[in-house]
Structure 1
Amino acid sequence: MTAVPPPVPGRELSNPPSDGISNLRFSNHSDHLLVSSWDKSVRLYDASANVMRGEFKHGGPVLDCCFHDDSSGFSAGADNTVRRLVFNYNKEDILGRHDAPVRCVEYSYAAGQLITGSWDKTLKCWDPRGASGQERTLVGTYPQPERVYSLSLVGNRLVVATAGRHVNVYDLRNMSQPEQRRESSLKYQTRCVRCYPNGTGYALSSVEGRVAMEFFDLSEASQAKNLIEMRDIYSILPFPMAPFLYGTFATGGCDGFVNVWDGNNKKRLYQYSKYPTSIAALSFSRDGRLLAVASSYTFEEGEKSHEPDAIFVRGINEIEVKPKPKVLPS
């Protein structure tokens, strides 16, 4: 009998990080992919050509990264620094610092600012167009109730998720205080927050594997539509589906599975074949054609032997992400 080959998880990128992938992100302008890692590096890939275009170093584990445009990006990490990456020259410089590890970075095209969140319980906004040096680029520092775990942007709206299940919602045009102070509807520690692309709300995931979908509108009618606790074992990262036509999103878990969900109807649309180890991060390309998957052990079971870190890029079929039409009773 001929052996049946295992399902293909996607094309594996060459030259992956050597230790713990913390995040990966597609560019908004191309198939370039930026990857941060605990091996103190940020790597730039051309995902379509399967070529690493550059590598940048920090003084400690890199916890997050994001693009500015196709010529530059930003990263932040456990060395307390925020760095600007210049791809064409394979150089980086220190944009600024926090007093503790910097957990997340987001670039706002609406405000022309970089936003960073740290375990020093502050949020900082930076103008990356200024000369290097903290004094000339720091726009403002905004205290948070606890350590910042995750940020997400949509238009001029910024959502900040911290330890203690706090959620602050800001308008970037007036950062003097949050326009909303909330508490996560999930019972356990927040892992990730992602805004809906249509600007109406955000999704939260927590460490026990649940996802809550919340709306910004505080009216009773809108709050009644909140969808809470879609269960996905070890779910860690919701990310809205590009090109944002269907309202679907993907989650990945420590069980090695990636699931695609219909958020409006709280239904799972598709589950991909199991990956070699935990799913540490996910990112869809700008046009929704590609999904990048970081298969990287997240130490949920402590120190143990595990598969090497790997990045897979797979093509997306519409049937995997498009909600099925409702069938009305005859």
Structure 2
Amino acid sequence: MALFGAAATTSTAGSTIGDLKNDVAIASPPDDTVTDLTFSPTADILAVSSWDKKVRIYQIASNGASEGKHIYEHDDVVFNVDFSKDGNKLASCGADKQAKVCDLQSLQTVQVAAHDNVVRCARFFELPNSNGPMLVTGSWDKTIKYWDLRSPNPVGTVTCQDRIFSMDVRNSLLVVGTAERYINVINLQDPLKFYKTLQSPLKWQTRVVSCFTDASGFAIGSIEGRCAIQYVEDKDASANFSFKCHRDPPAGNTTQVYTVNDISFHPQHGTFSTAGSDGTFHFWDKDAKHRLKGYPTVGGSIVATTFNSSGTIFAYAVGYDWSKGYFANNPNYPNKVMLHPIQGDECKPRPSVKKR
């Protein structure tokens, strides 16, 4: 049986316009705008953090049905969630200046990290000689801290140039995006120093950094409707590029541009999604420098995205992202989490064309 019960059909083979008709909403979404989404690496379990100060955990069935399994709270807005590699632990962090870890077996939640300001990002990682997962947190206090979950004090601290806005980990690659467009690359085998520091090739504020599936580089999304593809090693620098996305067609001398709110990489194919304030998401092939699929607007800004571990579900959250300020918010603005079944060639890379 096809995922979510029905296979998507497109009117033209290879069409670049995607279809939303099989997308389903999760039951009992958060009461306020979602801040982050993440799937467990070992099961179709989705964790959702929100401005309502809560973390919700849902079980997703093969037909797209969702069931709330657990909920726990922070003292303020929760900004980030991340599962451990074995799927047994969930980390969350937020404006209450702390990070917590929920044990998915016992459903016990404990505080494991603290900063002097908002904790914007939390990511699990594992080192070869460690006895279990470790956590790295990034804060508006301009530091990243490393935590052994059995100890109340950080095992290491690195000071960055400015407030941490976004962070991602893949294997031994840690990428940290700060205010003033600094990007720090850290090799987690040598975690207390920067392997490389650069300023974003994009001209405006960094919104998101996301590591490639193979950890050879990372993508950067900014508030001006652009995305950059950046490789870690200098030998690959010729493959770096940036491109425009999430902008309306020019009208006269004006082009309306939108924030790129999230970037997620497909776990198998290495292709990736961008999602933005314009309410659209797109799938891209970075190696072919090609857009695979673009989707119609979903009726509100897309604030967070993630793929499940098998790459068969793309989850996206719709909610107000404050890109148009206080006055554009209203009680009727959509607030939901949608599940999009990946079917056919939606996320598959383009076949390479060999030159004669």
- Given the two structures, how large is their TM-score scaled by the length of structure 1? 0.91
Percent identity reads 32
Conserved? CA contact 1:192–1:237, under 8 Å: yes
Partner SS for 1:276: coil
> Partners in 1 of 2:55 and 2:334 — Cα distance?
17
Q: Which runs of 5+ in 2 are unaligned?
A: 1-18, 248-257
Which letter maps to 1:236? Answer: N
Superposition pairs for residues 20-31 of structure 1, below 5 Å? 20-31=33-44
Runs of 4+ in 1 over 4 A off after TM superposition: 326-330
Q: Report Cα offsets for 1:179-206 as digits up to 9, x if no partner.
A: 1111110000101111111121111010
Q: 1:116 aligns with which of 133, 137, 153?
A: 137
1:288 is displaced (CA, Å) by 0.5
Code of the residue aligned with 2:143 in structure 1: it is: T
2:263 alignment partner in structure 1: 238
TM-score, scaled to structure 2:
0.84
How far the C-alpha of 1:225 sits from its partner, in A, is 1.6
Tell me the residue number matched to 1:289.
Answer: 312
Partner of 1:250: 273
Distance (Å, rounded) in 2 between the aligned partners of 1:323 and 1:87: 35
Structure 2 match to 1:274: 297
Q: 1:231 deviation in Å? A: 2.4
Give how far 1:327 is off: 5.8
Work out whether 1:299 is the aligned partner of 2:322. Answer: yes
Within 5 Å, give how 1:309-324 maps onto structure 2: 309-324=335-350
Which shows bigger deviation, 107-116 or 209-218?
A: 107-116
| Secondary structure, aligned partner of 1:55 | strand
Amino acid at match of 1:121: K
Alpha-carbon distance in 2 for matches of 1:327, 1:108: 37
Aligned residues: 316
Unaligned runs of 5+ in 1: 1-5
2:238 aligned partner: 224
Partner of 2:120: 103
> How much does 1:9 deviate?
5.7
Say if 2:127 and 2:189, in contact at 8 Å, map to a contact too. Answer: no
Determine the C-alpha separation between the residues in 2 that align with 1:35 and 1:114.
19
Shift of 1:109: 2.9
CA distance in 2, matches of 1:168, 1:225: 19
In structure 1, the residue matched to 2:5 is none
* Superposed CA RMSD: 1.9
Provide the residue aligned with 1:81 in structure 2.
98
Q: Is the 8 A contact 2:20 2:340 kept in 1?
A: no
Q: Report the Cα offset of residue 102 of structure 1.
A: 0.4
Displacement, 1:326?
Answer: 5.3
Query: 2:234 & 2:297 partners in 1: Cα distance?
Result: 39
Query: Equivalent residue for 1:201?
Result: 217
Q: Relative to structure 1, is the Cα distance of residues 7 and 206 closer, same or farther in structure 2, using a 3 angstrom cutoff?
A: closer
Rounded to whole Å, the distance in 1 between the matches of 2:219 and 2:20 is 30
Letter in 2 for 1:139: V
